[in-house]
Amino acid sequence: MNHYGDYLPLLKESLRKLDRWRDSFGEDYHDALADGEKLKEILNRVGERLEGNYPFHHPQYAGQMLKPPHPIAWLTYMLTATVNPNNHALDGGPPTSEMEKEVIRKLSDFVGYDDRSLGHLTSTGTIANLEALFIGREIHPGKHIAASSNAHYTHSRMSRLLNAPFLEIPVSATGEPDLGFIRKSAEKIGTLVVTMGTTGLGHVEPLGEMISIAREHGIRVHIDAAYGGFFKLISGDLPSSAEWDLMHEADSIVIDPHKHALQPYGSGSVLYKDASIVRYFKHDSPYTYFTSDELHLGEISIECSRAGASAAALWATLELLPLNRNGLGSLLAATRAASIRFHHHVEESNRFENVSEPALDINGYFKIPGQKKLSAVSELSRQIFDGGLKSRDKGYHLSLFTLPADSFTSQFPEFDANEDKVIILRSVFMKPEHKLFVDELAERIGI
């Protein structure tokens, strides 16, 4: 088994080389390092506290969207963090700013944008979405930002922050946005959010149909692909394959590298099809932008200070795992395979039932209770969830997901809707290692 400590010689060698660069500037005038024994004592305490985490590294953990970064990512991040460059301006981090621009060019090519596009990394997907919605508000002041009820909850909250009216699009029992509702409301919508990979069950919304309505009415289209974006690498394996080929038609796109691109938190990104939106960020600083006449990353961003270490980590990762089917795509193919295999386990079981076919790598399912009542489904889900936490080496870690009663009973009409909501089980198979462990996980759960 590989251990994280096995990578320390690589990090030590890289740090020694960087120390030689630091020494080339002459005598170091900073204060002496803290006492070694004190550092050791504090680090040991930190390590002990970190052991209170759930085992995000292990495939028995299929709960939330959490997994450790790739070794190349955290090694690069740690190395770069010793310099601590700031990618707000070229003055603050020339090499990492260039790395960020190179990474954004790769992401833009990946989604199908041409050289007229613009983009940058962000500290989170939430900030990336906020920025894209800010642009939408500036282009269509006074008009609504519209997103489905399955969209991430932050879209409505960010609309309040932007003082822009928000419109929630209802969805069907299977999670499809009500296209008729969008058509009827089109005149008051300025920005339409299309979620490609909802954070609940990974649903991919019908981009093609939604873009068609938007173009007919002059509506700006923003894709929130924070979770699902990198699945475009294996779009041919997905039931929504045709939708991914249309990403380049959207006006803006958000993708989170700290999810499927194996990055440390936080690493989001926002891409714009038309670089002319830079005018909405235009500002000046009397002390910041001096070393280059080129566009500084802070001139196209809501955020100011941003970690250059994040850009370096993603740059290094994409050097190792390029944005193609055989590179990063091979890891997503493994997570997708795990999800499909788990779905088949549930399908073949007479004790459990799938709620839907997985669109990406998130599964929703429940144990069939003796009494066909929603309250009984919820109670069993809680019991199974709690049961997995009781064993370290034979346990499992799932998550729970709440569905409206009418959504559940429209699919399972034999159940008595004795409550207005029902809690089901949810598994996120976002680690490639899940492909090899999913049979064992199903057995542990009792499927």
Question: Where residue 154 sits, what CATH number does that domain have?
Answer: 3.40.640.10
Residue 437 in domain: yes
Residue 428 in domain: yes
CATH code: domain of residue 346: 3.90.1150.170
* Co-location of 291 and 359 in the same domain: no
Q: Can you tell me the mean pLDDT for 303-308?
A: 87
Q: Can you tell me the mean pLDDT for 205-227?
A: 97
Q: Pick the residue with more confidence: 320 or 286?
A: 320
Phi-psi region of 251 (alpha: psi -120 to 50; beta: other; left: phi over 0): alpha
Q: Can you tell me the mean pLDDT for 305-321?
A: 96
Give the C-alpha separation, 348 to 91, whole Å. Answer: 60
Q: Can you tell me the mean pLDDT for 317-326?
A: 98
Residue 2 in domain: no
**pLDDT value at position 215?**
97
* Co-location of 135 and 104 in the same domain: yes
Residue 150 in domain: yes
| Structure confidence by residue, pLDDT tens digits, 322-334 | 999 999 999 999 9
Residue 61 in domain: no
User: Which of 320, 337, 359 finishes a domain?
Assistant: 320
| Structure confidence by residue, pLDDT tens digits, 157-211 | 999 999 999 999 999 988 899 999 999 999 999 999 999 999 999 999 999 999 9
How many Cα atoms sit within 13 Å of 117 on the Cβ side? 25
Range of the domain at 235: 94-320
| Structure confidence by residue, pLDDT tens digits, 7-21 | 999 999 999 999 899
**417, pLDDT greater than 60:** yes
Q: Which of 5-19, 30-44, 427-441 comes out lowest in average pLDDT?
A: 30-44
**pLDDT value at position 442?**
98
* Co-location of 191 and 314 in the same domain: yes
**pLDDT value at position 305?**
84
Q: Give me the number of domains the chain comprises.
A: 2
| Structure confidence by residue, pLDDT tens digits, 374-389 | 999 999 999 999 999 9
User: Which of 301, 320, 339 finishes a domain?
Assistant: 320
* Co-location of 290 and 234 in the same domain: yes
**287, pLDDT greater than 50:** no
Per cent of the chain over pLDDT 90 is 83
* Co-location of 271 and 389 in the same domain: no
* Co-location of 305 and 346 in the same domain: no
**30, pLDDT greater than 70:** no
Which of 358, 364, 346, 341 shows the shortest CA–CA distance to 426? 364
* Co-location of 190 and 338 in the same domain: no
Residue 36 in domain: no
Give the C-alpha separation, 312 to 80, whole Å. Answer: 7
User: Per residue, what are the HEC states of the chain?
Assistant: CCCHHHHHHHHHHHHHHHHHHHHCCCCCCCCCCCCHHHHHHHHHHHHHHHCCCCCCCCCCECCCCCCCCCHHHHHHHHHHHCCCCECCCCCCCHHHHHHHHHHHHHHHHHHCCCCCCEEEEECCHHHHHHHHHHHHHHHCCCCEEEEECCCCCHHHHHHHHCCCCEEEECECCCCCECHHHHHHHHHHEEEEEEEECCCCCCCECCHHHHHHHHHHCCCEEEEECCCCHHHHHHHHHCCCHHHHCCHHHCCEEEECHHHHCCCCCCCEEEEECCHHHHHHCCCCCCCCCCCCCCCCHHHHCCCCCCEHHHHHHHHHHHHHCCCCCCCHHHHHHHHHHHHHHHHHHHHHCCCEEECCCCCCCEEEEEECCCCCEHHHHHHHHHHHHHHHHHCCCCCCECEEEEEEHHHHHHHCCCCECCCCEEEEEEEECCCCCHHHHHHHHHHHHCC
- Only one residue has tokens 């500002």, namely 283
* Co-location of 258 and 333 in the same domain: no
| Structure confidence by residue, pLDDT tens digits, 125-143 | 999 999 999 999 999 999 9
User: Which of 293, 320, 347 finishes a domain?
Assistant: 320
* Co-location of 398 and 294 in the same domain: no
Residues 420-431 as b/e (b if ≥16 CB within 10 A, e otherwise) read eebbbbbbbbbb
* Co-location of 281 and 333 in the same domain: no
* Co-location of 185 and 308 in the same domain: yes
* Co-location of 133 and 188 in the same domain: yes
Residue 74 in domain: no
> For the whole model, what pTM was predicted?
0.94
Residue 58 in domain: no
